[in-house]
Amino acid sequence: MGADAVLVNTAIAVAGQPVAMAQAFRLAVEAGRLAYEARLAAPAAQAVASSPLTAFLD
């Protein structure tokens, strides 16, 4: 998730619709960068419920 560049020339050139494929790669690169910058959650040794049981009290 920290790639510096992507080589996509052939993948786009030989696609059925090269413009649409180029658009798809652009969105994929943007999605990856956004996720990278948003940072992953910290790993935990134990499972933690993603929907806290007491959130309704907040």
Partner 1 sequence: MSFRPIFESHPWDDVKASIYAKTGADVERALAAPRRTLDDFRALISPAAAPYLEQMAQLSQQRTRQRFGHTVQLYVPLYLSNECQNICTYCGFSLDNKIARRTLSSVEMLAEAAVLKGWGYEHVLLVTGEANQTVGVDYLEKALRTLRPHFAHLSMEVQPLDQEDYERLIPEGLNTVLVYQETYHQDDYKKHHPKGKKSNFHYRLDTPDRLGRAGIHKMGLGVLIGLEDWRTDCFYAALHLDYLERTYWQTKYSLSFPRLRPAEGMLQPKVEMSDRELVQLICAYRLLSDEVELSLSTRENPTFRDHVVQLGITSLSAGSKTNPGGYAVAPESLEQFEISDERSPAAIAAMLRRQGLEPVWKDWDATLTALAR
- Do 11 and 21 contact (CB within 8 A), yes or no? yes
Contact status: 54 vs partner 1 (CB under 8 A): yes
Judged by CB, which is closer to partner 1: 19, or 53? 53
Contact status: 18 vs partner 1 (CB under 8 A): no
- Do 36 and 2 contact (CB within 8 A), yes or no? yes
Residue type, 10: T
Stretch that binds partner 1, among 2-10, 21-29, 30-38, 50-58 (CB under 8 A): 50-58
Distance of CA 48 to the CA centre of its chain: 23
Nearest approach, Cβ of residue 43 and partner 1 (Å): 19
